[in-house]
C-alpha cells in the first residue's frame, strides 16, 4: 500500500524541499567577503525609511515573499511613532507571525552582525523575530547521494589530491 502511494506522490508545496533540507542555498560566492549574505534561501531584512519601517522576507529567486510595514493602517494605528525602536520591534513580531503562518520557519538575517549590534532598531527587530519563533539560521541541506536516494546507481568516489595539488601546498 505504501509503495503505491510513494510512486504516485506529487509534491504540491514547492517550499517543502527547502524545509526538508533537500534544496541547497546558492553557491558560487566563495571568493567574496560577503558570501554569507548572498548564500541563502530566505533572508529577513529591515528597511528604514525617513517616515516608516518595513520588514521583508526575501526569497533568493522570487524576491519579496512576505512584508510588514508601518505604512499599513492596521499597524500604524497601534504605534506611537512609525520610526522608533518600538516600531521596529512590532514590525519584527508581525513579520515573524506572518512567516510562521505561511510555513516558513528558517531565514537568514539580511544585515551583518556588526550592523545589528550598531543599530538599536536592527537589534530589536531581530530579537523580536527570534522571540516569536522564527529561527535566524537555515538548516544544512542533505547532499543528494546513494544513502538518501536509492534510485542512484552509483556511490560517489572520494576525491583524492593530485600531484599538482600537493605541489601547490609547498
Q: Report domain extents, the chain.
A: 34-132
Q: Within a 10 A sphere around the Cβ of 107, how many other Cβ atoms?
A: 26
User: Hunting for cell 541563502 — which residue is that?
Assistant: 40
pLDDT recorded at residue 68: 95
pLDDT by residue for the chain (170 residues), tens only, comes to 555 555 666 666 666 666 666 777 777 677 777 776 778 888 999 999 999 999 999 988 889 999 999 999 999 999 999 999 999 999 999 999 999 988 888 899 999 889 999 999 999 999 999 999 999 988 877 776 777 777 777 666 777 888 888 777 77
Continuous segment of H or E residues that includes residue 48: strand 42-48
pLDDT recorded at residue 7: 65
Edge-first strand order for the sheet with 42-48 is: 63-69, 53-59, 42-48, 108-109
CB 71 within 8 A of CB 87: no
State the chain's maximal CA–CA distance in angstroms.
69
Fold type of domain 34-132: Nucleotidyltransferase; domain 5 (3.30.420)
Amino acid at each position: 500500500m505504501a509503495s503505491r502511494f510513494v510512486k504516485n506522490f506529487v509534491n504540491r508545496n514547492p517550499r517543502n524541499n527547502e524545509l526538508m533540507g533537500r534544496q541547497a542555498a546558492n553557491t558560487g560566492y566563495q571568493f567574496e567577503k560577503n558570501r554569507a549574505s548572498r548564500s541563502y534561501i530566505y533572508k529577513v531584512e529591515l528597511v528604514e525609511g525617513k517616515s516608516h519601517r518595513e520588514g521583508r522576507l526575501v526569497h533568493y529567486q522570487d524576491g519579496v515573499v512576505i512584508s510588514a510595514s508601518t505604512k499599513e493602517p492596521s499597524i500604524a494605528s497601534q504605534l506611537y511613532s512609525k520610526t522608533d525602536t518600538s516600531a521596529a520591534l512590532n514590525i519584527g513580531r508581525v513579520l515573524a507571525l506572518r512567516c510562521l503562518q505561511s510555513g516558513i520557519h528558517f531565514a537568514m538575517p539580511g544585515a551583518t552582525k556588526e550592523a545589528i549590534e550598531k543599530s538599536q532598531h536592527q537589534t530589536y527587530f531581530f530579537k523580536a523575530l527570534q522571540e516569536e519563533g522564527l529561527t535566524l539560521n537555515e538548516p544544512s541541506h542533505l547532499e543528494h547521494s546513494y544513502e538518501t536516494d536509492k534510485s542512484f546507481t552509483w556511490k560517489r568516489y572520494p576525491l583524492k589530491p593530485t600531484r599538482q595539488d600537493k605541489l601547490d601546498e609547498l
